Amino acid sequence: MQEFKNKVMFITGAAHGFGEVIAKAGAQRGMKLALVDIDGAALQNVAQSISKTGTSVITMVADVTKEAEVDEAIDQTVETFGQIDLLINNAGIALAGRMWELPTRDWEWILHINVMAQVYTMKKVIPLMMAQKTHGTILNVASIAGLLDTPGMPAYHASKFASVGLTEATAYDLQRAGADIEMHVMCPGFVQTDLYHTENHRPDQYQDKQDPYYQSEVFEKGQQVAKYVITNGKPIDTIADTVFKALEDNEFYILTHPEFNPLIQDRVNRIVNHGAPDVHVMDGLM
């Protein structure tokens, strides 16, 4: 994507973290913004600070785990701006917890937001972009956790590996269909955002305050681990520039932490050598 001025960006999870800084960087480049988030109050704050710069911005409070709410937000964007040029599937959550301990509702929640929400937007936006007959761009925010495996957060890995695979496979089908749509998948390492506040964004349909799991030591430990890794991550200030530069350079994989590249290489080597994951290797690394 080379031109940003007057193009329409539709971005989910725009009220905090990556979504907020990418939205603001889009405004600086003269884009029109359609911002979506479940946290209405924080979304309003972001929109207010952006609209001071004269940018055209609309906000839509939606739970992106619900297809009907996603569809409605996309319809409202097209009614307002006429089209969508850049779709950024950014809304997401992180949950720590071992495979056999994490409640099924949490598995469903994370797979719904980190994977199905990306499916819902793309199912609706790809036909729209094809019909517009203008160049379209889609960026799915996955994670380095979609390229590497580590202990302690299998649900997050499952969702992010799925997001990477979804993006790669869709890119093939768009090419074969002759669509003028470029795809990108962002795979950051830890960055200082609000990601460890995932519990603040738990939708009602995934609540069960009676379940003793949420008072357990295991749950509390997971919260602490999430807080530790996110607050000790890289500062967020360079992330938006990295994203826009990668869009300009048409980089498919947007990587923010080159220090993880050898681990990606190790995993690929392990696969072709038929090797099993070895926790002792990880003990020395994370």
**Which are the catalytic amino acids?**
156
CA dihedral 259, 91, 21, 224 (to 10 degrees): -60
Which of 168, 72, 187, 169 is closest to 124 using CA atoms?
72
> Cα dihedral sign for 160, 165, 171, 173?
negative
Site for ligand NAD in 98-127 (CB under 6 A): 113
23 binds ligand NAD (CB under 6 A): no
Residue of 8, 13, 137, 246 interacting with ligand NAD (CB under 6 A): 13
Site for ligand NAD in 122-181 (CB under 6 A): 141, 143
Residue of 91, 162, 183, 185 interacting with ligand NAD (CB under 6 A): 91
**Calpha distance 142→160 (Å, rounded):** 5
Residue of 190, 240, 247, 255 interacting with ligand NAD (CB under 6 A): 190
Distance of closest approach, residue 64 Cβ to ligand NAD, in angstroms: 4
195 binds ligand NAD (CB under 6 A): yes
CB nearer ligand NAD, residue 58 or residue 94: 94
Of 1-9, 164-172, 173-181, 193-201, the window that binds ligand NAD (rule: CB under 6 A) is 193-201
84 binds ligand NAD (CB under 6 A): no
Of 14-22, 24-32, 213-221, 240-248, the window that binds ligand NAD (rule: CB under 6 A) is 14-22
- Judge whether 158 and 113 are in contact, CB under 8 Å: no
* Burial bucket for residue 196 (CB in 10 Å: 0-12, 13-18, 19+): buried
Helix, strand, coil % in the chain, rounded to nearest 5: 55, 15, 30
Q: Give the x-and-dash track for 221-260 against ligand NAD (CB under 6 A).
A: ---------x--x---------------------------
Residues in the chain: 286
Which of 158, 145, 118 is closest to 13 using CA atoms?
118
38 binds ligand NAD (CB under 6 A): yes
